[in-house]
Amino acid sequence: MGHLLALDLTAYWATTTIKVLVVLGLIPAGALILGYVFLLKMMSFMQSRLGPMEAGPYGTLQLVADGVKFLQKEDIFPDRADRRVFALAPVVVLMSTFLLYMVIPAGPRLIVEDLDTGVIFALAVSSLSVIGVLMAGWASANKYALIGALRAAGQLIAYELPLVLAVVGVAIQAGTFSLQGIVHAQAEGSIFGIGAIGNPFILTQFVGFVLFLAAAQAELSQTPFDMPVAESELVAGYMTEYTGFRFLFFFMGEFGTAFALSAIGATLFLGGWYLPGVHGTLADVVGPLVLGAKIMMVAFLIFWVRFSYPRFREDQLQAIAWKFLIPISLVNILVTGVLKVVVK
């Protein structure tokens, strides 16, 4: 009978369960880390104030306290809301975040699914959240929410293409769409024959990195592209009518996606989990920490811009995307492709 109780951790169902649980834990953890470090503390320091200081040491537990507060709130449905769609929308948004984590490698073997088209998959599922946003805006029966949701949908047209095109350069250089493969390509690469620190693609794909950051900013609907939630115009955009734990879902979705997109940026351009000189099993242990540090670097850039820039208008975003980001990324692809053929 003993063998029935012993858990076979290599069985398919066991690994899948563990992976799902880890990812489910990662979303709030990532949201909490980014929320505390950047939203609460970095923003406060930029604005010459301290931020939360009371809940926990240096206010570290403030977001936990806020989360508990949200859970205690009354679950309000607007009178004329489409109740089922209204309730489902935050889940759809969070689901897209959840799917993002599937393809991000945190070590040589620490990955949920190493898809051959990992990058494309990640970018595809990240835009799923717009469906949730549209549902939220439509079901809220609120004009501000509706305008916000439609703006989010309009924004998708503008930023999705530069986001994909920015990544294509990396894919050409690495020769693969798999995120794990891209990390390996950077780890095994060399700069002018010196392979000591590998070849992080930020050096060769700097234009792509900047384009990726700009498009990711729009994807996350953060300033200067935060028109869907523009608080001075639309109160809170598509989130206007949400309270309590449904709002918490949106919050976790927002910051969880920021964490995941930073992770993708770190993987594509900074070498992901790779640390020079660390190989084998040790890389599985150190990898998540290295990736975490790199995530914080990318997220710092994203949030730095968020807290210091004014907001574009919707038509200006379209103009920037189509007249500026897309041509540059196309040129970037062309140059990368030519160099790939010429140099190799």
Partner 1 sequence: MTTTTDWKQSAYVAAQAADARVNVELETEGMTLNLGPQHPATHGTLRIVVRLDGEQVVWAEPVCGYMHRGYEKLTEVRTYPQVTTLVNRIDWLGHFCNEVPFILAAEKLMGVEAPPRAQWLRTIFFEMARIANISLFLGDMGVQLGAITPVFYAFRDREYVLNLMESVTGGRFHPNFDRIGGIKDDLPKGWIDETKGVMKRVRDFCDEMEDLLMGNEIFQQRTRGVGVIPPAVAADYGLSGANARASGIDWDLRRDEDYPLAWKEVDFKVWTHPDGDSFARYWVRLQETREAASIIEQLLDGLPSGAIQAKVPRIIKVPAGEAWVHTENPLGEMGYYVVSKGGLGPFRCKIRTPSFNNISILPWLLRGVFVPDVITILASLYFILGDIDR
Determine, following the binding rule CB under 8 A, whether residue 231 of this chain makes contact with partner 1.
Answer: yes
CB of 303 to partner 1, least distance (A): 12
Whether 203 and 339 have beta carbons less than 8 Å apart is answered as no
Determine, following the binding rule CB under 8 A, whether residue 170 of this chain makes contact with partner 1.
Answer: no
Determine, following the binding rule CB under 8 A, whether residue 325 of this chain makes contact with partner 1.
Answer: no
Q: How far apart are CA 85 and CA 12, in angstroms?
A: 34
Determine, following the binding rule CB under 8 A, whether residue 316 of this chain makes contact with partner 1.
Answer: yes
Ramachandran assignment for 128, one of left (phi > 0), alpha (psi -120 to 50 degrees), beta (any other): alpha
Determine, following the binding rule CB under 8 A, whether residue 300 of this chain makes contact with partner 1.
Answer: no
Determine, following the binding rule CB under 8 A, whether residue 308 of this chain makes contact with partner 1.
Answer: yes
Phi, psi of 180, deg, nearest 5: -60, -40
80's tokens:
């004329």
Determine, following the binding rule CB under 8 A, whether residue 48 of this chain makes contact with partner 1.
Answer: yes
Question: Binding residue for partner 1 (CB under 8 A) from 93, 147, 218, 252?
Answer: 147
Determine, following the binding rule CB under 8 A, whether residue 312 of this chain makes contact with partner 1.
Answer: yes
In the complex with partner 1, the residue whose CB is nearer, 209 or 312, is 312
The span of 13-21, 95-103, 310-318, 325-333 binding partner 1 (CB under 8 A) equals: 310-318
Q: How far apart are CA 197 and CA 275, in angstroms?
A: 8
Determine, following the binding rule CB under 8 A, whether residue 10 of this chain makes contact with partner 1.
Answer: no
Position 53, amino acid: M
Determine, following the binding rule CB under 8 A, whether residue 176 of this chain makes contact with partner 1.
Answer: no
Nearest 10 degrees: CA dihedral of 299, 304, 309, 314? Answer: 0
Determine, following the binding rule CB under 8 A, whether residue 153 of this chain makes contact with partner 1.
Answer: no
Q: How far apart are CA 80 and CA 146, in angstroms?
A: 14
Question: Binding residue for partner 1 (CB under 8 A) from 309, 318, 322, 337?
Answer: 309
94's tokens:
């969070």
- Environment class of 315 (CB within 10 Å of its CB; exposed 0-12, middle 13-18, buried 19+): exposed
Cβ partners under 8 Å of residue 81, min gap 6: 139, 140, 141, 241
Determine, following the binding rule CB under 8 A, whether residue 133 of this chain makes contact with partner 1.
Answer: no
Determine, following the binding rule CB under 8 A, whether residue 69 of this chain makes contact with partner 1.
Answer: no
Q: How far apart are CA 92 and CA 238, in angstroms?
A: 14
Question: Binding residue for partner 1 (CB under 8 A) from 49, 277, 341, 344?
Answer: 49
In the complex with partner 1, the residue whose CB is nearer, 10 or 48, is 48
The span of 66-74, 100-108, 219-227, 324-332 binding partner 1 (CB under 8 A) equals: 219-227
Q: How far apart are CA 119 and CA 21, in angstroms?
A: 22
CB of 154 to partner 1, least distance (A): 9
Whether 214 and 223 have beta carbons less than 8 Å apart is answered as no
Q: How far apart are CA 235 and CA 196, in angstroms?
A: 51
Determine, following the binding rule CB under 8 A, whether residue 141 of this chain makes contact with partner 1.
Answer: no
Determine, following the binding rule CB under 8 A, whether residue 235 of this chain makes contact with partner 1.
Answer: yes
Determine, following the binding rule CB under 8 A, whether residue 305 of this chain makes contact with partner 1.
Answer: no
Determine, following the binding rule CB under 8 A, whether residue 307 of this chain makes contact with partner 1.
Answer: yes
- DSSP state, residue 237: G
Residues that bind partner 1 (CB under 8 A): 43, 46-49, 143-144, 147, 223-224, 226-227, 230-235, 307-316
